[in-house]
Chain A
Amino acid sequence: MLRVSSERIDAAEELRAFETLAAQAGGIVTFSGQVRKEAAGGIVKSLFLQAYSPMTEQGIEAAMTEANTRWSLDHTKVLHRTGAMLPGDTIVFVATAAKHRRAAFEAADFLMDYLKTEAVFWKKEDTGTSSHWIAPREDDYSDAARWTKKEKI
Chain B
Amino acid sequence: MTKLLYFGRLSDITGISEETLELPSEIDSAGQLRIWLDRRFETNGALLEPTIRIAINSEITFDTASLAGAQEIAFMPPVGGG
Q: Which residues of A contact B (CB under 8 A)?
A: 33, 49-50, 52, 54-55, 58, 80, 91-92, 112, 115-124, 132-136, 140
User: Which B-chain residue is minimally distant from A53 (CB atoms)?
Assistant: B58
- In the complex, the answer to whether A133 meets B79 with C-beta atoms within 8 Å is no
- CA A121 – CA B12 in complex, angstroms? 16
- Residues of B with Cβ closer than 8 Å to A? 5, 7-9, 12, 55, 58, 74, 76-82
Is A136 in contact with B80, judged by CB distance below 8 angstroms?
yes
Min CB–CB distance A111 → chain B (angstroms): 10
Q: B80 — nearest CB in chain A belongs to which residue?
A: A136
A115-B9 in contact (CB<8A): no
Contacts known (A120-B76, A122-B7, A122-B8); A49 close to B81, Cβ less than 8 A: yes
- Residue in A92, A117, A132 with the greatest tally of chain B CB atoms within 10 Å: A117
Bound Cα distance from A120 to B78, whole angstroms = 9
A120 surroundings in chain B (CB, below 8 A): 76, 79, 81
The answer to whether B80 touches A55, judged by C-beta atoms less than 8 angstroms apart, is no
In the assembled complex, how far is the CB of residue A147 from the closest CB belonging to chain B, in whole angstroms?
A: 15
What's the minimum C-beta distance from A80 to chain B, rounded to whole angstroms? 6
Q: Is the Cβ of B82 less than 8 Å from the Cβ of A135?
A: no
B78 proximity list for chain A (CB < 8 A): 135-136
A117 / chain B contacts, CB cutoff of 8 Å: 79-80
Question: Across the interface, do B58 and A121 meet the contact criterion of CB distance under 8 Å?
Answer: no
Q: Is the CB of B80 within 8 A of A140?
A: yes
List 24 interface pairs A-B (beta carbons < 8 Å), by A numbering: A50-B7, A52-B5, A52-B7, A52-B55, A52-B58, A55-B55, A92-B82, A112-B82, A115-B82, A116-B80, A118-B79, A119-B79, A119-B80, A119-B81, A122-B7, A122-B9, A122-B77, A122-B79, A123-B80, A123-B81, A133-B8, A133-B12, A136-B78, A140-B80
